[in-house]
Structure 1
Amino acid sequence: MNVLRWSAGELTLTFALDDGPVRLIGVREASQPDGGTPDPSQPLVEVSATGYGLSPSTNRHVDTILGQQLRYVRHEETGTTLRIVQEEPTTGLRVTSVFEALAGVRAWSEVSMNGPGALELTFVSSLVVGLASVDAELYSAANSWMAENRWSKRVLREVLADIVRDPHHHVARSRHAVTNTGSWSSGERLPVGVLVDRSAPYALGWQIEHNGAWHYELGETRRGGYLLLSGPTDQENQWSVELTADKPFTTVPVSLVAGTDLDSVFAALTRQRRAIRNRRPIDDRMPVVFNDFMNTLAGDPTTEKLLPLIDAAAEVGADYFCIDAGWYADGDWWNTVGAWQPSTTRFPNGLTEVIDRIHTHGMVPGLWLEPEVIGVRSPIAAELPDDAFLTRRGQRVAESGRYLLDLRSTAARKHLDDTVDRLIGEFGIGFFKFDNNTMTGPGSDKGGTSLGHGLLEHNRALLDWLDSLQTRHPELLIENCASGAMRMDYAMMSRLHLQSTSDQEHPLLYAPITAAAPAALLPEQAGHWAYPITGTTREEFTFALVNGIPGRLYLSGHLNRMTPVELDLIRSALTAHRAVLEDLDTLVPAWPLGLSTWTDEWIALALNGPDVSYLTLWHRAPGPSSITLPLRRSSIEPHFPTDLTDLTDWSYAWTDNALTITTNTPEPSARVLRLTSPS
């Protein structure tokens, strides 16, 4: 077996090159020695087409006939890119596997026909990795509205069927499959996972970087196992596409990282996300944004309600002020959206009066916008042609009182360009909260495509529209929201500034969302709502603010109704947050108590840097309690709150490399600590 080892960035990839298909048989940190030998028989690429399925037949996407028949042609190394070309001799199918070295490795497949003829593709993997064993722990996360980032651990060996394996018996054909359907890329599960080997210091992490349908699966083979990553499939997503010499196809990109344990993999994923992010100069600003929605106006803004909020937000030190949903509508607005003109009843003297107040305080104005939908009762629905919308069999797709724009359409894009350009030009808008509360279903068959491929093309057109928008408006910041974090992926987040991590309104339930978010998202992009409520206890008020500090504090609440003591506490929280912001885009996450789960009583998140770390702790039960964290001894000081008046203090004690924390508060409480290495 000829071996190709390719080292770039933090990883070394090992490929088998011989008279069979190319196989990826090793993904390790460049500094790590070779570990167990992965299955050397698992092809790097799996591909199915009509007339060319699987052998043997299963629900799995491995053992594809075309994948087994691919043969190595050549490979090319150019700078930090590796391209491996294979061809299938009977059909003329050519597959180029592309690897881009960043912090980890980014990979995808480019598929074409080498000559006449056509194939109707029904599946193409972005990447398949051979595994040495399925004796591993799988970390993955459920995701749903107001209950995002719910991570769990499963022993993979207990998920996959374990049957007799020897030369006279078959290997189990079971799989652990995770599939996303429709346009919410994280509507049910996150496109992220980690495998931690149970018998060796080795862990493998991945993310699928697509804003629509995707699929990954793990299974066992005779000599190990496999991890398969892909975009939409025919079996799961009604996706297929015709491939000819003139119509090539490129899969969605995925990223791989490796480490020795869970925290090292998530640190590597953090570095990889920073490497793929298209960070513009305006992104360096990292402002504190006040938004009027959560626990505040909740979609009912008016001049009378907004002006005192704007004054109060400026007084505590907010940099941006975003007017959320409802600014464009009189009465019920759900199924009438689309024109995006300011309401004249909500703003009798015009929206300009409110925007001018924001500008007067030196803040940047922002607006909520749901650009991809048109209400079925909106006059715009009749003005735009059917081609502007996602359709099935010629009829517009309608969900929850909305039609869904098709961003492949020139008319749809012109409508959105005109809308955004008008709002920026008329009001000086510097921030948009782009929301998306309506799913597309499986897609659109417009132009004779499969439903899944129509959706894939729309997803990619949306990304292209965002790119063009930011090119025209380089000073514009955009928040990504989809009923909270229902579209939290790195196709979107490689482009956008901020991600709303939830719509959750209960501070105790927001704590695990904040703590687990860095497993899926850069901390400098994680927009955590901090919405203190006037009249609550000092600990409750503090708890709500702590939720926002280890990320991007997204401020809300009736600041104009708060007492001077409450406002002072908010100012103190913003001061503490801004200190974190100075280092935030260099910090990496770790979880001293393990990756937080939805029901944990104690939750701990560390954001670690070379010189300073911030440790956020939540205790979600009433009464005294102690917890010990395995941490390297360091200097420790309260970061927030620092004024302990009326707060029962926590105590901290070091024993060797362990920190014991005790709280005597009679109610749930939270703190942020600053740790520095002793000089």
Structure 2
Amino acid sequence: MEKQIVIEENGIHIVFEIEEDRSFKLLHFSALPFQKEKITQAMKEAGFNFIEMNLYGFDRPHERHGNKYIVTSHGFRMKYVSHTDERNEKGRVLKFLTTDEETDMQVESVWQFYDGIPIVRMEHRVENRGQEMQTLDYISTFNYMGIEKEGVKRQDEKLLLKLPHNGWQREMNWKDYTLKDLGMDLVQPKEIQRSSNHFHVSNTGNWSSKEFLPMAYLENQETGSSLYWQIEQNGSWHWEIGDQNGHLYLALGGPNELYSHWFKNLKPGESFTTVPAAVGVSLGGFDSSIAELTKYRRRIRRKNQDNETCKIIFNDYMNCLFADPTTEKEIPLVDEAAKAGCEYFCIDAGWYAKGFWWDAVGEWKESRERFPNGLREVTDYIRSKGMIPGIWLEPEVMGINCELAKKLPDTWFFVRHGKRIYDRSRYQLDYRNPEVREYMTSVVDRLIQEYGIGYIKMDYNIEPGIGTEYLADSPGEGMLEHERAYLKWLDSLFEKYPELVIENCSSGGLRIDYAMLSRYSIQSTSDEEDYRYYATIAANSPSGLTPEQSAVWSYPLPDGDREATVFNMVNAMLLRIHQSGRLDKISDDEKTLVKEGLDCYKSIRGDIKNALPFWPLGLSDFDDEWVALGLRTEEKIYLSVWRRSGNTPCISIPIPNGRGKNAEVICKYPSFSESAYEWNPGAGSLSVNFERENMARFYEIKLCEEN
């Protein structure tokens, strides 16, 4: 007789079932209660596996069309052994043990809950306890069939997928899709649907978010329930939605053979742990889901002072020196950054090469041509102005014209087909090699000891592809183990230097993932050079990472006017300010506006670390005329509003829970407002009137008693 395990925790309804033959099923994972009549016995027999896992040399037990990771060889073979239900300092934790009795492959699964947050973090550890080697080419981290089962409408009419496209200078670019948009129309009888096509999103390589963020949001528009997820992996990952025997499934995981050239040979006694993933539920729509995800991201992140203080960084790169630093150029920028109120001053790329620096990176020694009296002269000057010096570093690469790279053995680098991997005139270092880790630790030690560095911008500007064959069963396995070794190296740096602030940058935002961001306190969001487009990236960025980790450039231009300067400052006001631009060449009026903006930021930044984001006009598209981002605290609401090009000078912006309430509204920045605004208590909205194009304002709203 079947036995159900029913879990209700933090608003998540979960139902597992142990079948008579001890097959283990996940029948339900939702914000809504389980309706058992939605699943027939025949459907259960053909799906709902708790894990999908594929080993070579075994047949699939049921029909599957195409390349879907469903009906895997061992998904149906795994049998329930035992489980525990306990608590730790984070919350409830479930552990399941399943096994394949023929091969003696055993999987320990851990589901970690977090008190007060409707999200579960999951991972599996598979161990070969048998007598023969087994080749693993896929294992899901989360596998849930029945994502469409609530409600009565057709699945291709009620499900909406929000997908975060990402790319260089196009980060956080969310788009909405129905199943029909994705080519998944329901044209077969529902109970036999198993089309060869499915919708899958993958990343292959070391830039984890070069095409998509490793997350998404799926809403049942009929019932108002939603699922949302993030895969916490700093390299290759994969998720898919497909159909099988009357239901749709969602499968999340890390690298696999089909899409990322990964497989691993497990000898007797060897094990493999999956990439972690977090999955949440909601009945409150997208904003509510991201609010919960924000809480979760804060919960799993390394505790650090930087996210408590949200200090202001000046970086000399964007629309400023553009990787051409010299003592002569830096000194006036240091002076102006200090006057404006910046607290870190980061010297960006180029400090180690006399001329073209791109293909010579790797030794990280100062250029005396650029700094005749040494780099220490500039870093000491930064300190004398009350700021902490920072430096740019690209620790995972060496240029093909780096003299050290020419002397090192291939064992330091990614290798395929017997050759070092090239990309953009750089080699990829292999962090599985302890000599690589020791060398880069010595570089960091030297920068801190010789120059007093307290901030490092760690950049990464290549894509080495599928991985390395050296000492690996597959290129994807070499890649994954390198990425895990790199994370351990980061952990060792933070253990050694707990006050050191390290920024995660990958040509802007091409590695926005919570394998990285559970460690780094701050993340570059983009290399976007046009402040008007940056409004979209800035406004959408709290969907991909917490506001206090989201570094946004502000770069007033020498040929700009005061509205352009205000627009730049508002871009970063609710996030982390990466101040840049030629502060030494802008007008005095613009300098005053920069300082006013930084002073305003300092007055509100203590709230950012606890505030939750919302989007009163929805997520922004790059061609939107109006853009809005809000952060809400227990006592007040902060609202950034932008108007770009268009024909609508006035708009009413709905504020959550504002209907029927009075409100105190002030324009916090700039002080010369010159734009009309008015609170509408009946509608619970703020009307603003921006007479000219390309304007921005920053407001503080306190909701009062109801009318």
TM-score relative to the length of structure 2: 0.92
Indicate the residue corresponding to 2:666 in structure 1: 638
Structure 1 53/351 Cα, relative in aligned 2: closer, same or farther at 3 Å? farther
Indicate the residue corresponding to 2:254 in structure 1: 231
Indicate the residue corresponding to 1:541 in structure 2: 565
Indicate the residue corresponding to 2:430 in structure 1: 406
Instruction: Provide the C-alpha distance between the structure 2 equivalents of 1:202 and 1:170, rounded to a whole number of angstroms.
Output: 23
Q: Are 1:88 and 2:92 matched, yes or no?
A: no
Instruction: Provide the C-alpha distance between the structure 1 equivalents of 2:581 and 2:59, rounded to a whole number of angstroms.
Output: 56
**What runs of 5+ residues in structure 1 fail to find an aligned partner?**
none
Instruction: Provide the C-alpha distance between the structure 2 equivalents of 1:132 and 1:472, rounded to a whole number of angstroms.
Output: 45
User: In 2, are the aligned partners of 1:121 and 1:242 still within 8 Å (CA)?
Assistant: yes
Spell out, residue by residue over 1:566-616, the C-alpha distance to the aligned partner (whole angstroms, 9 max, x if none).
Answer: 111111111222233111111111111112222211111111122111111
Indicate the residue corresponding to 1:71 in structure 2: 79
Instruction: Provide the C-alpha distance between the structure 2 equivalents of 1:614 and 1:5, rounded to a whole number of angstroms.
Output: 41
Indicate the residue corresponding to 1:515 in structure 2: 539
Q: Are 1:503 and 2:527 matched, yes or no?
A: yes
Moved more, 632-641 or 344-353: 632-641
Indicate the residue corresponding to 1:551 in structure 2: 575
Q: Are 1:11 and 2:12 matched, yes or no?
A: yes
Indicate the residue corresponding to 1:342 in structure 2: 366
Q: CA deviation at 1:349?
A: 0.8
Indicate the residue corresponding to 1:171 in structure 2: 194
Instruction: Provide the C-alpha distance between the structure 2 equivalents of 1:666 and 1:178, rounded to a whole number of angstroms.
Output: 41
Structure 1 573/623 Cα, relative in aligned 2: closer, same or farther at 3 Å? farther
Indicate the residue corresponding to 1:669 in structure 2: 695
Instruction: Provide the C-alpha distance between the structure 2 equivalents of 1:414 and 1:577, rounded to a whole number of angstroms.
Output: 39
Instruction: Provide the C-alpha distance between the structure 2 equivalents of 1:319 and 1:594, rounded to a whole number of angstroms.
Output: 33
Q: Are 1:48 and 2:54 matched, yes or no?
A: yes
**Equivalent residue of 1:539, what SS?**
helix
User: In 1, are the aligned partners of 2:551 and 2:572 still within 8 Å (CA)?
Assistant: yes
Q: Are 1:273 and 2:297 matched, yes or no?
A: yes
Percent identity between the two aligned chains: 35
User: In 2, are the aligned partners of 1:16 and 1:22 still within 8 Å (CA)?
Assistant: yes
Moved more, 156-165 or 285-294: 156-165
Instruction: Provide the C-alpha distance between the structure 2 equivalents of 1:357 and 1:634, rounded to a whole number of angstroms.
Output: 51
Structure 1 462/639 Cα, relative in aligned 2: closer, same or farther at 3 Å? farther
Spell out, residue by residue over 1:336-393, the C-alpha distance to the aligned partner (whole angstroms, 9 max, x if none).
Answer: 1111001001011111110111010111100000011101111110232211111113
User: In 1, are the aligned partners of 2:13 and 2:33 still within 8 Å (CA)?
Assistant: no
Q: Are 1:372 and 2:399 matched, yes or no?
A: no
1:177-216 counterparts in 2 under 5 A?
177-216=200-239
Instruction: Provide the C-alpha distance between the structure 2 equivalents of 1:664 and 1:371, rounded to a whole number of angstroms.
Output: 45
Instruction: Provide the C-alpha distance between the structure 2 equivalents of 1:78 and 1:281, rounded to a whole number of angstroms.
Output: 32
Spell out, residue by residue over 1:193-251, the C-alpha distance to the aligned partner (whole angstroms, 9 max, x if none).
Answer: 00010210211110000000000001123332111000001001110001233210001
Indicate the residue corresponding to 1:60 in structure 2: 68
**Equivalent residue of 1:447, what SS?**
coil
Structure 1 368/634 Cα, relative in aligned 2: closer, same or farther at 3 Å? farther
Q: CA deviation at 1:398?
A: 1.4
Spell out, residue by residue over 1:10-69, the C-alpha distance to the aligned partner (whole angstroms, 9 max, x if none).
Answer: 53432222235322222234xx54478577532111011211354424210011121011
Q: Are 1:254 and 2:280 matched, yes or no?
A: no
Moved more, 428-437 or 243-252: 243-252
RMSD: 1.8
User: In 2, are the aligned partners of 1:622 and 1:665 still within 8 Å (CA)?
Assistant: no
User: In 1, are the aligned partners of 2:562 and 2:593 still within 8 Å (CA)?
Assistant: no
Instruction: Provide the C-alpha distance between the structure 2 equivalents of 1:666 and 1:283, rounded to a whole number of angstroms.
Output: 36
Moved more, 58-67 or 207-216: 58-67
Instruction: Provide the C-alpha distance between the structure 1 equivalents of 2:559 and 2:190, rounded to a whole number of angstroms.
Output: 68
Spell out, residue by residue over 1:418-471, the C-alpha distance to the aligned partner (whole angstroms, 9 max, x if none).
Answer: 101000111110100000001111000111420110000001011000000111
Q: CA deviation at 1:83?
A: 0.9
Indicate the residue corresponding to 1:24 in structure 2: 26
Spell out, residue by residue over 1:483-514, the C-alpha distance to the aligned partner (whole angstroms, 9 max, x if none).
Answer: 00001100000000100000001011101101
User: In 2, are the aligned partners of 1:21 and 1:67 still within 8 Å (CA)?
Assistant: no
**Equivalent residue of 2:123, what SS?**
strand
Moved more, 284-293 or 522-531: 284-293
Moved more, 391-400 or 301-310: 391-400
**What runs of 5+ residues in structure 2 fail to find an aligned partner?**
149-154
User: In 1, are the aligned partners of 2:27 and 2:145 still within 8 Å (CA)?
Assistant: yes
User: In 2, are the aligned partners of 1:71 and 1:88 still within 8 Å (CA)?
Assistant: yes
User: In 1, are the aligned partners of 2:147 and 2:250 still within 8 Å (CA)?
Assistant: no
Spell out, residue by residue over 1:308-332, the C-alpha distance to the aligned partner (whole angstroms, 9 max, x if none).
Answer: 1001101111000000001111100
Q: CA deviation at 1:662?
A: 3.5
Instruction: Provide the C-alpha distance between the structure 1 equivalents of 2:323 and 2:331, rounded to a whole number of angstroms.
Output: 16
Structure 1 507/52 Cα, relative in aligned 2: closer, same or farther at 3 Å? same
Indicate the residue corresponding to 2:340 in structure 1: 316
Amino acid at match of 1:26: H
Spell out, residue by residue over 1:157-196, the C-alpha distance to the aligned partner (whole angstroms, 9 max, x if none).
Answer: 54214222266x5433421100001100001111010001
Amino acid at match of 2:650: S
**Equivalent residue of 1:68, what SS?**
coil
User: In 2, are the aligned partners of 1:639 and 1:674 still within 8 Å (CA)?
Assistant: yes
Structure 1 634/442 Cα, relative in aligned 2: closer, same or farther at 3 Å? farther
User: In 2, are the aligned partners of 1:626 and 1:663 still within 8 Å (CA)?
Assistant: yes
Instruction: Provide the C-alpha distance between the structure 2 equivalents of 1:473 and 1:462, rounded to a whole number of angstroms.
Output: 16
User: In 1, are the aligned partners of 2:190 and 2:246 still within 8 Å (CA)?
Assistant: no
User: In 1, are the aligned partners of 2:359 and 2:399 still within 8 Å (CA)?
Assistant: yes
TM-score relative to the length of structure 1: 0.96
User: In 2, are the aligned partners of 1:302 and 1:327 still within 8 Å (CA)?
Assistant: yes
1:254-653 counterparts in 2 under 5 A?
254-260=277-283, 261-622=285-646, 624-631=648-655, 632=658, 633-644=661-672, 648-653=674-679
User: In 1, are the aligned partners of 2:349 and 2:393 still within 8 Å (CA)?
Assistant: yes
Moved more, 578-587 or 404-413: 578-587
**Equivalent residue of 1:547, what SS?**
helix
Q: Are 1:150 and 2:156 matched, yes or no?
A: no
User: In 1, are the aligned partners of 2:341 and 2:599 still within 8 Å (CA)?
Assistant: no
Q: Are 1:221 and 2:221 matched, yes or no?
A: no
Structure 1 204/502 Cα, relative in aligned 2: closer, same or farther at 3 Å? same
Moved more, 654-663 or 295-304: 654-663
1:105 pairs with one of 112, 120, 128: 120
**Equivalent residue of 1:575, what SS?**
helix
Instruction: Provide the C-alpha distance between the structure 1 equivalents of 2:610 and 2:637, rounded to a whole number of angstroms.
Output: 11
Structure 1 308/455 Cα, relative in aligned 2: closer, same or farther at 3 Å? same
User: In 2, are the aligned partners of 1:485 and 1:502 still within 8 Å (CA)?
Assistant: yes
User: In 2, are the aligned partners of 1:211 and 1:489 still within 8 Å (CA)?
Assistant: yes
User: In 1, are the aligned partners of 2:141 and 2:277 still within 8 Å (CA)?
Assistant: yes
User: In 2, are the aligned partners of 1:163 and 1:171 still within 8 Å (CA)?
Assistant: no
Instruction: Provide the C-alpha distance between the structure 2 equivalents of 1:116 and 1:246, rounded to a whole number of angstroms.
Output: 9
User: In 1, are the aligned partners of 2:615 and 2:628 still within 8 Å (CA)?
Assistant: yes
Moved more, 250-259 or 599-608: 599-608
